[in-house]
């Protein structure tokens, strides 16, 4: 692999790592292996630390393709827990409210899925990187300040659910760039007159790229360690 000239690399990001953790780890190891002071490494779409799955890295001249890669649709699998909410809509923050779930029927869940499919308007979570007057929304939220975000137009091409583990709802979603799966979970619960929290998330596809063809971080580092600067 010619990392200096440019490569597009698929990585299966583990839970607990930020996207920048992966970028920094790869960049440091490349500099050591190639004996260079610097090398361009970037990622094409952030994954939260609580999410696993496909992270696309670009090195060298391939970093110029990042914007074109990011516009592709994404596919995620995960789990929504009905009956509870958190301020962040996921497990980054503690549960703050509980709601009944006994009234929820399969028909009601199917109807909510339909409402959340297609071209819809979505309000991002207040614990997000959206900017308000030059400040990140999550910084304002963590400081206890009121946060109001505008709805954005998104497209959910496919949304399917498996209710066999109710009140944990397993799902698969294919959606446009800019979609917050956490907001899907929250809105899904609200439409059922209950609450919804995203408790598991994994990105499986981004555009034409598939996590099944991705390196683990350790496997990628092994490849890098066998690389030298003799191109």
Q: What are the structure tokens assigned to 118, written together? A: 């297609």
Tokens 């995960």, residue?
A: 78
Residue 110 known to be catalytic: no
What span, in angstroms and rounded, lies between the C-alpha atoms of 216 and 13? 7
Residue 55 near residue 11, CB atoms below 8 Å? yes
Domain residue spans of the chain: 8-71+208-225, 74-206
Report residue 30 CA to chain centroid gap: 25
Residue 166 near residue 109, CB atoms below 8 Å? no
Q: What secondary structure letter does DSSP report for 213?
A: G
Contacts of 89 (CB under 8 A, 6+ apart): 125, 127, 180, 182, 183, 185, 186, 196, 197, 198
pLDDT tens series, the chain, 231 aa: 899 999 999 999 999 999 999 999 999 999 999 999 999 999 998 898 999 999 999 999 999 999 999 999 999 999 999 999 999 999 999 999 999 999 999 999 999 999 999 999 998 887 777 777 777 777 767 777 777 778 899 999 999 999 999 999 999 999 999 999 999 999 999 999 999 999 999 999 999 999 999 999 999 999 999 876 444
pLDDT of 230: 47
Contacts of 9 (CB under 8 A, 6+ apart): 1, 26, 56, 57, 58, 59, 215, 220
Q: Which of 41, 10, 7 is nearest to 207 (CA)?
A: 10
Sign of torsion over alpha carbons 44, 49, 53, 57? positive
Report residue 212 CA to chain centroid gap: 17
pLDDT of 150: 85
What CATH class is the domain 8-71+208-225? alpha beta
Q: 74-206 adopts what CATH topology? A: Pseudouridine synthase (3.30.2350)
Same-fold call for 8-71+208-225 versus 74-206: yes
What span, in angstroms and rounded, lies between the C-alpha atoms of 189 and 99? 9
Q: What are the structure tokens assigned to 133, written together? A: 């007057």
Of 48, 90, 110, 218, the catalytic one is 48
Return phi, psi of residue 218, to 5°: -60, -40
Q: CA distances (Å), 203 to each of 32, 87, 122, in order?
A: 30, 22, 20
């Amino acid at each position: 692999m010619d990392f200096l000239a440019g490569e597009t690399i698929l990585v299966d990001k583990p839970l607990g790592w930020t996207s920048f953790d992966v970028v920094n780890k790869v960049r440091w190891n490349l500099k050591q292996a190639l004996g260079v002071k610097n090398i361009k490494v970037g990622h094409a779409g952030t994954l939260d630390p609580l999410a696993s799955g496909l992270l696309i890295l670009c090195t060298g001249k391939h970093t110029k393709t990042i914007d074109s890669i990011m516009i592709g649709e994404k596919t995620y699998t995960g789990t929504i827990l009905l009956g509870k909410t958190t301020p962040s809509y996921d497990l980054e923050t503690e549960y703050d409210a509980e709601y009944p779930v006994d009234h929820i029927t399969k028909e009601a869940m199917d109807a909510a899925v339909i409402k959340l499919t297609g071209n819809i308007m979505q309000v991002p979570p207040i614990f997000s990187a959206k900017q308000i007057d030059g400040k990140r929304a999550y910084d304002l939220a963590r400081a206890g300040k009121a946060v109001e975000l505008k709805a954005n137009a998104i497209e959910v091409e496919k949304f399917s659910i498996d209710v066999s583990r109710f009140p944990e709802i397993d799902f698969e979603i294919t959606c446009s760039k800019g979609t917050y799966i956490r907001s899907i979970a929250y809105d899904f619960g609200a439409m059922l007159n209950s609450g919804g929290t995203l408790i598991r998330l994994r990105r499986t596809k981004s555009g034409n790229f598939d996590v099944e063809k991705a390196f683990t971080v350790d496997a990628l580092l092994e490849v890098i360690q066998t690389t030298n600067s003799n191109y």
